[in-house]
Amino acid sequence: MNTEHIDIPVTLSPNYSGACTHGSMTNEELLTLTDQQSCMINGRALFALKYRVIPCAVNEKHHASVEQMFFANYNNDQSSGSPRGKSSGKHKEPGMYHTASVIRFLVNDYKLDPNTFVYTWSYDVFHQKSNMSQIYIDLGNYLSVQFDAACTSSADVDNPNNLEPDHEDRKFDCFMAVRILHVPQTAERARILLKQLGNFQVFPPTEATLHMVCRDSDGGFFVSPIPMKKPHITDLKLHYGESFLDIHEELLEALQEKDSTGITLLHGPPGTGKTFYLRYLINEIRDKKVIFVPPDLVNDIAKPDFLPFLMGHPNSILIIEDAENIIRDRSQASLLPNQAVANLLNISDGLLGDAIHQQIICTFNCDFKGIDPALLREGRLVIEHKFDTLSIENARRLCVELNIPGNGDDIHESISLAEIYARKNASVKTSSNDLENGEATSKTKRRLGKKPKKPETLLGFYS
């Protein structure tokens, strides 16, 4: 990361309001002015003592709901069973700063001496582990940073930056709050630093809400909310091919456009990951309701009372899984599917679509050539994508990513995503059985997954 900006000389304005050089002022007076006694480490006071000015400050404040939902004390084995907010491609709630990662970054990229840091710490006698509680780091040239509110995450975290956890149970030691101190001339450097620190965050685990269509006792329709956990996909290209990331981003942008219509067709052989991807996609969508039509109700789309039901959910996304029977060419279909296709056309690009603004996603396994041509018309079709088996190279790479024993060396032909995950589940089951039988061999330990790498010693912490 570029940190050359830190070396640019700073010239304070002679009339800067935070300056303390207009008259004689002792250190005791400075401490009183900045209220040093109110906390263990007061970054403002330390900044003022060195630079003889009262600093400006920028911080990323965290909501109490996130703190209560996500974090527990590191010696508390509570699970993360709290309600979860809806996820998005960009996290709506701020994350927590992984302590070891941010300290290593500042030491290595800003060329800092760890022995110049001011910090408070605690020692867990039971686990024989030292943890920082607060830390103040002066970066020089009128810029410093203070981290507060130390904690340990739950094991189930969103880790988009692939940081190495501190504990064998995949938990992270973190700071929940950061404050960067600066003067007006170093405000841009403070913004750069805050952005850089964002690369070392972990986030609360999140679940989207899927609204499944159901029938009531009178034959009418209603939706029932279902929590939808986001699958752990670290690399879409590895799961679905090199070009898929562009397809995903294009689809996500189209789906999140307000008052948009259109139809997306996702198809391919069974086991190629269509449903797995849908779970991922649902958790990426924000600010829109996602409505799911289960396979047993797919034909109900052709019924007269289904369209009035949809009108009660404008500007939403309709997912129809196993949609073969309602998207076939009408010239070769029965009366019922004919009306279903007509309804889809009306929702996706007809007068009704202009009123309720719904996007439609259909998944199916049949041959794409059998689809009704009207659904493929330019302007109506948003994206058409075929999910296929993985190449030998990508299958082996995914085996390595998932810590599957053998790393897929026995794979000599294309293989489906479902077969890869079946191998992973089988290896985990084998490991569990070995442990129950007391056979925790070195081979078993490898099957349990990689242990977190131990970072280099930092002031005796996180080593």
339 pLDDT more than 80? no
Average pLDDT over residues 211-219: 88
- In percent, how much of the chain has pLDDT > 70? 73
Average pLDDT over residues 16-39: 60
175 pLDDT more than 70? yes
């041509």: which residue's tokens?
373
pLDDT band, very low/low/confident/very high, at 444 (cuts 50, 70, 90)? very low
443 pLDDT more than 50? no
Please report how many Cα atoms fall inside a 13 Å half-sphere around the Cα of residue 122, on the Cβ side.
Answer: 14
* pLDDT recorded at residue 63: 46
Q: For the whole model, what pTM was predicted?
A: 0.58
Contact (CB, 8 A) for 459 and 114:
yes
Q: Quick one: DSSP state of residue 388?
A: -
| Domain assignments of the chain as residue spans, ordered by start | 4-202, 207-386, 392-447
pLDDT band, very low/low/confident/very high, at 6 (cuts 50, 70, 90)? low
* pLDDT recorded at residue 82: 33
* pLDDT recorded at residue 420: 93
Extract the runs of DSSP E, i.e. beta strands, from 183-306: 201-202, 207-215, 221-229, 262-267, 290-293
- The alpha carbon dihedral of 342, 345, 348, 354 has a sign of negative
Tokens matching residue 26: 């002792």
What does pLDDT average to over the chain?
A: 78
Q: What is the tens place of the pLDDT at every residue in 60-77?
A: 755 444 444 444 333 333
**CATH number for the 207-386 domain, one of 3.10.110.10, 3.40.50.300, 3.40.50.720, 3.30.565.10?**
3.40.50.300
Q: What's at 133, amino acid-wise?
A: S
Tokens matching residue 212: 């499944």
SS3 assignment, position 266: strand
Q: If 0-12 CB within 10 Å is exposed, 13-18 middle and 19+ buried, where does residue 309 land?
A: middle
Q: Which of 195, 193, 74, 72 is nearest to 123 (CA)?
A: 74
* pLDDT recorded at residue 23: 58
Contact (CB, 8 A) for 280 and 231:
yes
